[in-house]
């Protein structure tokens, strides 16, 4: 039976608190030029005290539901590595706050690949006939995991949420998810981690080292793995559905680092104009980065109906994955329910630049 999963709605939200490079330079051993040259980031959004991943997910989910023209779904899948609490998962509360009733709702933890994994999971629910519509959300408040003194991580990450509504449809129609490719390598799980807080550390009964409660990353090794794995995954996904990499109109990668994005495009022999990116304004928003980039692309007009689009992510685990679709005709929620992914409440779309390497956010010329 032809039970494809079709993208029917899209929304995103980031908290209104802007943190600029200059603000970070005032408290860290860094400066604006250092941050831009190594990451392509100018500013990011961080949650306010008491604000959580669930709050971000609810706002993005509400906008995606409005975009899809529905107030009901049959399941919620939330990709996050910063749940509101270690137990229980955050998705059931998100579903409840959205008024979706006693539907199945659960979290997926695949760090920066989380949204791709969650999309594949939602598509599986539809393929099995368990659901006809699924709300898939990627949300993280990663600023809550960062060491106040670690410039290598604190300058990179931002907070936010993005969401899509999947509906049952046909593989022949625009918006149908196709060619999904997923992978992992747990032998390198130490490259991206928060050492403390889980059962391994708790079972020791030893005092927790403060530094072990913060996010850590082995940058050079992660860079190499991210470029290789995302490029390979994009090729595999394109091959499965008969596309050549050169036929991709928009490549929407996890917004990890401007250098990584440029290196993946170069490895695939794709022009930079193919890359959809908002990392300059939002930083690395972890599981939220792909749907936020999509929402920015629709709002700016850079992402057009009929475009051949490939989404690809890489993150802790290690995990990676990609999928393809022909972009459908979508409407974002109306102005009274702001949807633009790069904006906080009350902001104006016109204040923001194109999502394809905004002015001042391009990677250095030597990339």
354 and 302 in contact (C-beta within 8 Å)? Answer: yes
Catalytic residue among 278, 284, 340, 352: 284
For the record, the structure tokens of 13 come out as 């939200």
- Could you give the 3-state DSSP secondary structure of residue 264? helix
Looking at residue 175, the DSSP 8-state letter turns out to be T
312 and 321 in contact (C-beta within 8 Å)? Answer: yes
Sequence-distant (6+) residues with CB within 8 A of 165 are 7, 8, 9, 10, 64, 65, 67, 68, 70, 73, 133, 134, 135, 136
Query: Is 349 a residue of the active site?
Result: no
Looking at residue 59, the DSSP 8-state letter turns out to be H
- For residue 302, the tally of other CB atoms under 10 A from its CB is 17
324 and 274 in contact (C-beta within 8 Å)? Answer: no
Write out the DSSP string of 25-36.
HTTSS--HHHHH
Q: Are strands 75-79 and 105-108 parallel, antiparallel or unpaired?
A: parallel
Query: Is 87 a residue of the active site?
Result: no
Query: Is 112 a residue of the active site?
Result: yes
Write out the DSSP string of 278-344.
-HHHH-B-GGGHHHHHHHHHHHHT-S-TT-EEEEEEEETTTEEEEEEEEPPP--PPPTTS---TT--
Q: Which of 267, 216, 260, 265 is nearest to 38 (CA)?
A: 260
Catalytic residue among 21, 254, 257, 361: 254
CA atoms within 13 A on the CB side of 190: 1
Sequence-distant (6+) residues with CB within 8 A of 321 are 110, 113, 116, 117, 120, 180, 181, 182, 183, 233, 312, 313
* Residues labelled as active-site residues: 112, 254, 284
């Amino acid at each position: 039976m032809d039970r494809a999963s079709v993208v029917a709605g899209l929304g995103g939200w980031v908290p209104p608190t802007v943190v600029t490079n200059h603000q970070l330079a005032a408290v860290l051993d860094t400066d604006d030029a250092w941050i831009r040259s190594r990451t392509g980031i100018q500013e990011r959004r961080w949650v306010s005290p008491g604000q959580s991943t669930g709050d971000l997910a609810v706002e993005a989910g509400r906008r995606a539901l409005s975009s899809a023209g529905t107030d009901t779904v049959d399941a919620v899948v939330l990709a996050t590595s910063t749940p509101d609490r270690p137990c229980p998962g955050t998705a059931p509360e998100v579903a409840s706050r959205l008024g979706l009733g006693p539907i199945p709702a659960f979290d997926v933890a695949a760090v920066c690949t989380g949204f791709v994994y969650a999309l594949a999971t939602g598509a599986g629910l539809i393929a099995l006939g368990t659901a006809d519509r699924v709300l898939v959300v990627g949300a993280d408040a990663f600023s809550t995991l960062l060491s106040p003194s670690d410039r290598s991580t604190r300058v990179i990450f931002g907070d936010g949420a993005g969401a899509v509504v999947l509906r049952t449809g046909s593989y022949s129609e625009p918006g149908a998810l196709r060619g999904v490719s997923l992978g992992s390598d747990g032998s390198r799980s130490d490259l991206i981690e928060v050492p403390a807080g889980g059962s391994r550390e708790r079972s020791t009964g030893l005092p927790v080292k403060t530094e072990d409660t913060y996010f850590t990353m082995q940058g050079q090794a992660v860079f190499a793995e991210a470029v290789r794995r995302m490029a390979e995954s994009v090729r595999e996904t394109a091959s499965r559905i008969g596309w050549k990499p050169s036929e991709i109109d928009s490549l929407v990668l996890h917004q990890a680092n401007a250098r990584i994005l440029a290196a993946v495009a170069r490895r695939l022999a794709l022009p930079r104009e193919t890359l959809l990116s908002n990392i300059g304004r939002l930083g690395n928003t972890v599981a939220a980065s792909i749907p936020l980039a999509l929402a920015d692309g629709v709002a700016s007009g850079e992402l057009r109906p009929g475009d051949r689009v490939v989404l690809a992510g890489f993150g802790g685990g290690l995990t990676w994955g990609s999928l393809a679709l022909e972009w459908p005709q979508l409407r974002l929620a109306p102005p009274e329910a702001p949807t633009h992914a790069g904006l906080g409440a009350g902001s104006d779309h016109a204040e923001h630049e194109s999502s394809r390497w905004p002015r001042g956010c391009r990677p250095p010329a030597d990339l």
